[in-house]
Amino acid sequence: MPVTQSAPAAREALPDRVRGIALLGIVVVNAAYLGISADGFTAESVDGVGNRFTALVVVALAQGKFYLLFSFLFGYSASFILRDQSPPNRRRYLRRMGALFLFGLAHAVFFFVGDILITYAILGLLLLSVSRASDRALRIWTIASIALSVFFILTVSALLAAFPDEGSGLEGLETALATGTFAEATLARLDALPTVLLSVFFLQGPMAFAAFILGLRASRRRLLANPADHLDLWRTVSRWGWGIGLPLQVLAAGLQIGAVAAGTSYSFAGAAGLALGFITAPILAAGYLGSIALLLARRPTALAFLAPAGRMSLTVYIGESALLSIVFSAYGIGYFGQWGALAVVATAIASWVVLSVFAWIWMRRFTKGPLENVLALMTGKGSPASG
């Protein structure tokens, strides 16, 4: 009797559309570091009502939230590779982490030193080690990761408040971006990478790992496969996320941008705003996920235009940095440090629009994005259809 091969599982709609939105949130946060200063927003860049309001919106609605959505989806998608825990799939996963590390290293050195992929690749190895754990054990890991994150954030914020005049030590990078050649900017990023990588790892890593685990657990229950099956959950998440998360983020943004405008970014108020913002960011991020899930539960075709960018998120993520580097760095058009927050963030949004349109055109002809094809070759197999 002939054996009939089952058709591949249909790709889930919600993860790709969340990724498409998250790409916008990430680029508007990164833009300040690519176009204004190595420390992000400055007093000059938030001068004026339009610039101040833009910076407040970015910090309140985007900073610290969208990398968590990506982290959640990272854990969700990883589960599709590790589900059967077979040696070939585990080896494939390890190759994937190695490839992500190399992509992240190239991204950090050539375009944006604040890359998150290196951290993802390192934490991805830890995720592999706990991927067989029970839900109870994973809950303990989640709580421990969040507690560690809060400790690191409070420690870093306290140090910033205690030594506000120390600065970031990235003046060489700023000079290279403002006046240097491509080679000089590359060497400056390479020199700054250890400092920035440690900052990213300790400020964002533990919370990202907690989101990895939550995504892994969500995948076990296929929570994103059909949002309509979990309406009560999404309503609760959305209500708590917006009702509690948004006011806290607005307060945190007010403290941070107020300190920036006063020229004292690392004052007590600025450090308190930074700590409050990063510690409570998961609440609003959860609200975003719940709202998008509710929207798709009611209108399954909603936000479909974001799906191509979500499917080739690696290409779009690195492409955004490449485009902004061309606009702002001296080896490109050369506007680094010359524009206010409004113009810089508007340029970031434009880069997302351009690359989202490119993704829509590309995915009409191909099944993977350009860098996703390279990742698949390095991994040894294409990405799972469902994740």
**Stretch 306-324: mean pLDDT, rounded?**
97
**Stretch 290-304: mean pLDDT, rounded?**
95
> What pLDDT shows up at residue 165?
66
Whether 89 shows a pLDDT value over 70: the answer reads: yes
Whether 360 shows a pLDDT value over 70: the answer reads: yes
**Stretch 109-124: mean pLDDT, rounded?**
95
Quick one: pLDDT band at residue 386, thresholds 50, 70, 90?
Answer: very low
What are all long-range contacts of 372-379, with beta carbons under 8 Å and residues at least 24 apart?
372/311, 372/312, 372/314, 372/315, 375/96, 375/99, 375/100, 375/103, 375/314, 378/95, 378/96, 378/98, 378/99, 378/102, 379/92, 379/95, 379/96, 379/99
Please answer whether residues 19 and 312 qualify as being in contact, where contact means their C-beta atoms are separated by less than 8 angstroms: no
Give the tens place of pLDDT for each residue, 219-273: 999 999 999 999 999 999 999 999 999 999 999 999 999 999 998 888 899 999 9
> What pLDDT shows up at residue 177?
94
Give the tens place of pLDDT for each residue, 61-86: 999 999 999 999 999 998 888 877 78
Mean pLDDT, all residues of the chain = 92
pTM above 0.75, yes or no: yes
Q: Which residue blocks in the chain are alpha helix, DSSP H?
A: 13-35, 49-61, 66-82, 87-110, 117-130, 135-162, 171-179, 182-220, 231-240, 246-261, 268-298, 307-311, 313-328, 341-363, 370-379
DSSP per-residue letters across 132-189: TS-HHHHHHHHHHHHHHHHHHHHHHHHHHHHSTTS--S-HHHHHHHHH--HHHHHHHH
